[in-house]
Structure 1
Amino acid sequence: HPQFDAATVEAARQSKKLFATGVNASPGAAVGQVYFDADTAEKMAQEKGQDVIMVRPFTKPDDVHGMLAAKGILTSEGGATSHAAVVARQFGVPCIVGASMMAIDMDKRVMKSDGKTVKEGDWISLDGGSGEAYIGKLDLSTPDLEEQTELMTLLDWSDEIARLQVWANADYPADARRARSFGAKGIGLCRTEHMFFEQVRLPFVQKMILNAEEAQKLINNVERLEGFLKTGKIDGQKMRESIREEIEAEFAEAKETLEKSKAAKEYYDALEHLLPSQRSDFYGLFEAMDGLPVIIRLIDPPLHEFLPSQEELLVEVTEMRTKGETEGLEEKETLLAAVEKLHESNPMMGLRGIRLGIVYPDIMRMQVRAIFEAASDAANKGIVVKPEIMIPLTGHVNELKKVQPELESIAKKVMEEKGVEFSYKFGTMIEIPRAALTAGEVAEVAEFFSFGTNDLTQMTFGYSRDDAERNFLINYVDEGILPENPFQVLDRKGVGRLMDIAVREGRKVRPDLEVGICGEHGGDPSSIEFCHLVGNNYVSCSPYRVPVARLAAAQAKVNND
């Protein structure tokens, strides 16, 4: 990562250029001009060639294009596992979050802190390692890892010593290639939803969401009636012939309604448009990781994250009504109604992950077909593929029993269609305490576990991963209430105990159970040591943290075995 020289930083402090401090969310240093929204940040970076620092109160998934264009990211809200922090680490973008003393005025395009004002277009310098932001331009230096031959030798020795492998979190082929160049032995987490947020795809994702509920009701009705006819039973009782005739008529009518439904057509059209895009993404990952395992997580976030903000839409609709603007109003009102319908009081514990796979099964079906079409195409070209499909947010084994067999049948069907055969695994993310406590049951179905320690920490402590650090968690650490920030350093006694139970109980049922960790703790040395102690096979972290993780894995072996 680029860094600031220590003397330069001290001079900036002495000159009272320190503007704000926050959580050191993603390491490295960055210098650029401030812009307050993703579209402007991307435009200034791509069209004007500017070095950009994107500043937001907090980031959302639809800000990703601006984040990728920026040299650095600064937010006034959020914590070490907030959206901004996770995405920044993933792509190696220096980032500071939770700079709560900083007041951002989005209308006036300015921010203020400690009596100082920074306007849009002004230069600032971010140190993602220390969590400090400075006014003006500080000098940068960029180390070259490959030129540091002694370090490269040390990392090679580390790999020889370590029992724990180091994998990487990567959503795109370029990230996978970077991770592999840093020594990663696999991809421990590919977040498929990040691919949905690309601007050319987002309209199809939104079309899919807006029509999903109505379409699924019709689909469910057809499948229900078809099930009666196939089994010849209703509620476990054999159908009389007169009832069968009624069901057949009802089934024919339901099929016709489904075929004529505009919502169903829009839903299926959206899925058909998304499938080749996902297939292309996955092919690139398999190509980049030839011979190494790739874990792909199926859709995880709640659906409202793919739609515009409810507050912003409400403002737009109100303004259009006030001004008497009719063009586009109906479309905005329809979108607002959909967003309001999807609203949940606690969306991170709501309709997401495997629950989406149960309520709207065609989304995960499409993703699995795309994965196995890509893997089959790659295998037919001589690439050694090792796909592992991760179903997120399992809380009860019956959820997996409902979803996984059908997805496996799609995998087998695609390989048969493509005339190819290769090994694969289906597993789950352990991020709900109940899943850890009932891991023996879960392992009867899942072939691997991956601990999502960001959410597992959130659900175990009852701390919001987005708000806790800004509101109280930093004070907890400063006052000695907690020894470390549990979103940065794994809590061994609580979260760690759940992990230990899950590993032991899971391997009683499935001795060869593959176990890893894909939360941000995967790059923290203390957390890596604990993963070694409980018997993980690997840790997975952001690509830029792979070298540190390799060294930490070797230290864990030396210090404990």
Structure 2
Amino acid sequence: MEVLEGLKTRVYRFGNKTADGNSKMRNLLGGKGANLAEMSAIGIPVPPGFTITTEVCTEYNALGKEAVIELIKDEVEKSIASIEEQMGTIFGDKENPLLISVRSGARVSMPGMMDTVLNLGLNDEAVLGLAKRTKNEKFAWDSYRRFIQMYGGVVLGMKPESKDDIDPFEEIMEHLKHKRSIELDTEFTIQDLQDLVYDFKDAIKKRTGQDFPTDPWDQLWGAIIAVFNSWNGDRAVYYRNMHGYPADWGTAVNVQAMVYGNMGDNSGTGVCFTRDAGTGENVFNGEYLINAQGEDVVAGVRTPQQITKLGSKRWAELAKIEENDRLNDFPSLEELMPSIFDELNRYQDILEKHYRDMQDMEFTIQNGKLWILQTRNGKRTGAAMVKIAMDLLREGMINEKEAILMMEPNKLDELLHPVFEPNALKRAKTIAQGLPASPGAATGKIVFFADDADKYRNTILVRMETSPEDLKGMNIAKGILTARGGMTSHAAVVARGMGKCCISGAGALKINYKNRTLTVDGNVYHDGDWISLNGSTGNVIEGKVETMEPKLGGDFAELMQLTNKYRKMKVRTNADTPRDAKTARSFGAEGIGLTRTEHMFFELDRIKAMREMILADTVKERKQALEELLPMQRADFEGIFEAMDGMSVTIRLLDPPLHEFVPHQLATQKELAEDMHISLQAVKNKVAELEEFNPMLGHRGCRLGNTYPEITAMQTRAIIEAALNLKERGIVCKPEIMIPLVGTVREFEVQDGIIRETAEIIFKERNERIDFLVGTMIEVPRAALMADIIAKKADFFSFGTNDLTQMTFGYSRDDASKFLPIYIEKGILKADPFEVIDEEGVGQLVKIGTERGRSTKPNLKVGLCGEHGGEPASVEFCYNTGIDYVSCSPYRIPIARLVAAQAAIKTTI
């Protein structure tokens, strides 16, 4: 790596209403650093600090610790001096110490995935100075205890050694609480906190063999390097892979002066949202704690209080708390500190209007002074995402194009998930009530550890509270249930980001990790028992509850109409049944891009005739078996054509190798032999004859149709006769017959001849005609390269990117799971090429095929019908390549429509 020492700014300062950076520099400063700079510049009270850029993280990964410290040492020292000047404190001073926080900050929000260290700069001398200066000895020792605990875990590796172990520091604290018969951290005395500091240091020495560092500069460099390291930690890597964020982005490091919410009853900390992150409702909301630091709110250890009166009343109703108890024990910030609330309310309004999006803010109140620690575009559910964008559009804060671009395409999928069936819900037994942290309906078997989330097919992860280490299990589980925490706890925020159903703060739950039991009002539920979660109401329900398809309209329907206004590329569906076709049409499909005829042959009443056809020794016998299949297949096509009245329907002729249809178990082979009045050995011989070493490259697709032309003829007859039958009923059919796996133009010509000859015979028989197209699926690399020749004969192309990817890479789809995750982890591949189109390789073949095809047939219709047809990055690639339509599964259609609109808009801005 080239290092421009002395020429490159690596550290950017902010504070005192000035800043070196701004919100447009998020790629360099990370989202957090860019927003801190922006807030400071527009006059929001932000504690002063500085940001070490994401580029330094990349340099660290290339050059190592010592080299990078040398690169940034001078800038960091000058920036610390700037904070000292603004705060009137001195870093490392024992009388008047400057304490700082060290936080990560990627260019996108990754809540809890990387590391943070608070209260940095304390040691045995500085804690005494802090106590004297603040006249609050308990606060000083509590801050020191927190610092050692956090630094020990983040920098020195003091983590639980297994999933059954608790945090070593938590274990020490729990032991002291038990000894003192107390429950909360706030009940520790000064002596307790001093004892904890001693015990924590002792535990670190025993586990690591090192003394806890006392030099603040050693502490600072250790924390900075730990944050850089956390970019490649297990949590961050999993989160990046889950969302498709590149590994080479790196994280910034934000160093900021500490302000304290744990200095007494006139101090506090909280998290708030300018709109409801679950529903999208335009209501300011959030949670706070008095005499606490920020980690206390998201960790869920203490029950948080609500920001607003309205929120407090709603929360009290859910938690079944009386009004007097709410006012006495859990007052809202609006009621407890009205002037602070008014100031916070003013800032949230300023920030939402400035960023023109819903904001997620963190704040601290120190001795009656309000500080804003962070703002970012808030994580939200799919439903909230749509409502917020459409509301902002109606409010005139954004325009139509901005509303479309504000959407995260994959989050639309959340709106299409099933909801509980109303009658089943009426019969259901509610066993506990929590907070509706993330909407949705989830039903599954209880598991108590994130590592067990894949233990059953459907699971509900049940925890006291979640932590970033639980991320993988949270992603796998159908829903998340916690006994502690509020609407801004880790579980709530991460679940909303995932679009996962979550209930938090269900205080009636008694969880025993050792016995793997959940007890509610004396009823015991074990690992593997079914429960259901209503994330919209907070109800925890006993057993399994039936679900149903959601009803869509309102803002969602308006958004889809907007996509139609701006997109140019069509969206079709992959559908093999009339039911799938109807579902797809309800989601806005503009035709069918792929009907797989082989799926129709696997039903019980058809597989027998199919097997008879395969086992036939003569053409005559084969035709007799196909005659049995003809009316069945014709009826299938009639149903699909009827569902898609007036729209194009692309039907792929038989594609898979015949061995997939024959029985491989002895009992089924015997049954087939008896039905066909042939010997068992004859069946065995035919099965063995059909066996291939590499069937995906063997006797399948057009090779099958050219070997057994009677199969192509039967399927053509079924298609054409179905279309003619519906024409008689006034239903408009637009059949497109697609020949699979073509590699040479002659393969296409032979199949095309059979299709057109059969169609002409039918037209003469019926004295009626319909228009139809004959095209091919481009899924063999040679076909893409020969596209100009094939296009002279074909009416249309459709790229089958599943097989095209398989053949281009030489990866077996069925076996690639053994190595693809490792390839992605090691950076050999950026993404799974079967999920996201490989633009550098497979994508080039798609471009070549499209360009060459249109060089000889300028109006050639080109589509893409592989799994990539519903994946956002792949859909955008298709638009930019000039493809006419993509085709995807019914439930991905809204996503494809949105991305097609976004891609078109991006070309105009």
TM-score (norm 2): 0.41
Superposed CA deviations along residues 237-263 of structure 1, whole A, max 9, x for unmatched, are: xxxxxxxxxxxxxxxxxxxxxxxxxxx
Change in Cα spacing, 1:328 to 1:538, as seen in structure 2 (3 Å) is: closer
Give the aligned residue type for 1:197: F
Counterpart of 1:418 in structure 2 is 766
Residue 369 of structure 1 deviates from its aligned partner by 0.7
Residue 421 of structure 1 deviates from its aligned partner by 2.5
Counterpart of 2:224 in structure 1 is none
Picking from 132, 151, 163, the partner of 2:556 is: 151
Are residue 278 (structure 1) and residue 633 (structure 2) matched?
yes
Picking from 494, 512, 529, the partner of 2:859 is: 512
8 A Cα contact 2:602 2:661, kept in partner = yes
8 A Cα contact 2:709 2:754, kept in partner = no
8 A Cα contact 2:418 2:550, kept in partner = no
Counterpart of 2:656 in structure 1 is 301
Are residue 2 (structure 1) and residue 349 (structure 2) matched?
no
8 A Cα contact 1:393 1:432, kept in partner = yes
Picking from 893, 896, 900, the partner of 1:546 is: 893
- Trace 1:469-484 onto structure 2 (pairs within 5 A): 469=817, 471-484=818-831
Change in Cα spacing, 1:276 to 1:31, as seen in structure 2 (3 Å) is: farther
Residue 16 of structure 1 deviates from its aligned partner by 2.2
Give the aligned residue type for 2:905: V
- Trace 1:230-241 onto structure 2 (pairs within 5 A): none
- Secondary structure at the counterpart of residue 200 of structure 1: helix
Change in Cα spacing, 1:560 to 1:331, as seen in structure 2 (3 Å) is: farther
Residue 475 of structure 1 deviates from its aligned partner by 1.4
- Secondary structure at the counterpart of residue 356 of structure 1: helix
Picking from 843, 848, 852, the partner of 1:501 is: 848
Give the aligned residue type for 1:463: Y
* Partner Cα distance (2:837, 2:753) in 1: 33
Counterpart of 1:194 in structure 2 is 599
* Partner Cα distance (1:549, 1:145) in 2: 20
Residue 268 of structure 1 deviates from its aligned partner by 2.1
Instruction: Say which is worse superposed, 494-503 or 420-429, in terms of deviation.
Output: 420-429
Change in Cα spacing, 1:503 to 1:328, as seen in structure 2 (3 Å) is: closer
- Secondary structure at the counterpart of residue 390 of structure 1: strand
Change in Cα spacing, 1:359 to 1:367, as seen in structure 2 (3 Å) is: same
Change in Cα spacing, 1:416 to 1:327, as seen in structure 2 (3 Å) is: closer
* Partner Cα distance (1:199, 1:126) in 2: 35
Question: Which residues of structure 1 form unaligned runs of 5+?
Answer: 23-28, 33-71, 73-115, 117-121, 128-135, 217-263, 321-325
Counterpart of 1:16 in structure 2 is 449
Are residue 164 (structure 1) and residue 512 (structure 2) matched?
no
* Partner Cα distance (1:337, 1:11) in 2: 46
Picking from 726, 731, 756, the partner of 1:383 is: 731
Counterpart of 1:355 in structure 2 is 703
* Partner Cα distance (1:501, 1:145) in 2: 42
Change in Cα spacing, 1:281 to 1:141, as seen in structure 2 (3 Å) is: closer
* Partner Cα distance (2:871, 2:558) in 1: 21
- Could you say what the CA RMSD is over the residues aligned between the two structures, in angstroms? 3.3
- Secondary structure at the counterpart of residue 201 of structure 1: helix
Residue 549 of structure 1 deviates from its aligned partner by 1.0
Picking from 666, 676, 686, the partner of 1:313 is: 666
Residue 314 of structure 1 deviates from its aligned partner by 9.4
Give the aligned residue type for 2:812: S
Change in Cα spacing, 1:151 to 1:313, as seen in structure 2 (3 Å) is: same
Are residue 401 (structure 1) and residue 749 (structure 2) matched?
yes
Superposed CA deviations along residues 133-157 of structure 1, whole A, max 9, x for unmatched, are: xxx96778767242x4101110111
* Partner Cα distance (1:184, 1:474) in 2: 33
Counterpart of 1:288 in structure 2 is 643
Counterpart of 1:369 in structure 2 is 717
* Partner Cα distance (2:625, 2:789) in 1: 36
8 A Cα contact 2:444 2:530, kept in partner = no
8 A Cα contact 1:453 1:517, kept in partner = yes
Residue 316 of structure 1 deviates from its aligned partner by 8.1
TM-score (norm 1): 0.66
* Partner Cα distance (2:450, 2:575) in 1: 36
8 A Cα contact 1:12 1:18, kept in partner = no
* Sequence identity percentage: 47
- Trace 1:42-441 onto structure 2 (pairs within 5 A): 144-146=550-552, 148-211=553-616, 214-216=617-619, 264=620, 266-309=621-664, 312-313=665-666, 331-441=679-789
8 A Cα contact 2:446 2:529, kept in partner = no
Change in Cα spacing, 1:313 to 1:450, as seen in structure 2 (3 Å) is: same
The higher-RCO structure (CA 8 Å, 6+ apart) is 1
Change in Cα spacing, 1:506 to 1:124, as seen in structure 2 (3 Å) is: farther
Residue 420 of structure 1 deviates from its aligned partner by 2.3
Residue 371 of structure 1 deviates from its aligned partner by 0.4
Counterpart of 1:35 in structure 2 is none
* Partner Cα distance (1:493, 1:3) in 2: 40
8 A Cα contact 2:779 2:799, kept in partner = yes
Change in Cα spacing, 1:297 to 1:124, as seen in structure 2 (3 Å) is: farther
8 A Cα contact 1:30 1:126, kept in partner = no
- Secondary structure at the counterpart of residue 426 of structure 1: strand
8 A Cα contact 1:164 1:553, kept in partner = yes
Change in Cα spacing, 1:208 to 1:182, as seen in structure 2 (3 Å) is: same
Change in Cα spacing, 1:126 to 1:406, as seen in structure 2 (3 Å) is: farther
Superposed CA deviations along residues 227-282 of structure 1, whole A, max 9, x for unmatched, are: xxxxxxxxxxxxxxxxxxxxxxxxxxxxxxxxxxxxx3x32221111111111111
Superposed CA deviations along residues 69-112 of structure 1, whole A, max 9, x for unmatched, are: xxx9xxxxxxxxxxxxxxxxxxxxxxxxxxxxxxxxxxxxxxxx
* Partner Cα distance (2:838, 2:772) in 1: 32
Give the aligned residue type for 2:727: A
* Partner Cα distance (2:794, 2:612) in 1: 32
Residue 374 of structure 1 deviates from its aligned partner by 0.6
Decide which structure has the larger Cα Rg and report it: 2
8 A Cα contact 2:446 2:530, kept in partner = no
**For this pair of structures, how many residues does the alignment match?**
400
Give the aligned residue type for 2:666: L
Give the aligned residue type for 1:388: E
Change in Cα spacing, 1:14 to 1:279, as seen in structure 2 (3 Å) is: closer
Residue 503 of structure 1 deviates from its aligned partner by 0.4
- Secondary structure at the counterpart of residue 189 of structure 1: strand
* Partner Cα distance (1:124, 1:198) in 2: 32
8 A Cα contact 2:780 2:804, kept in partner = yes
Counterpart of 2:336 in structure 1 is none
Give the aligned residue type for 1:182: F
Counterpart of 1:41 in structure 2 is none
Give the aligned residue type for 1:412: E
* Partner Cα distance (1:429, 1:558) in 2: 29
* Partner Cα distance (2:850, 2:875) in 1: 15
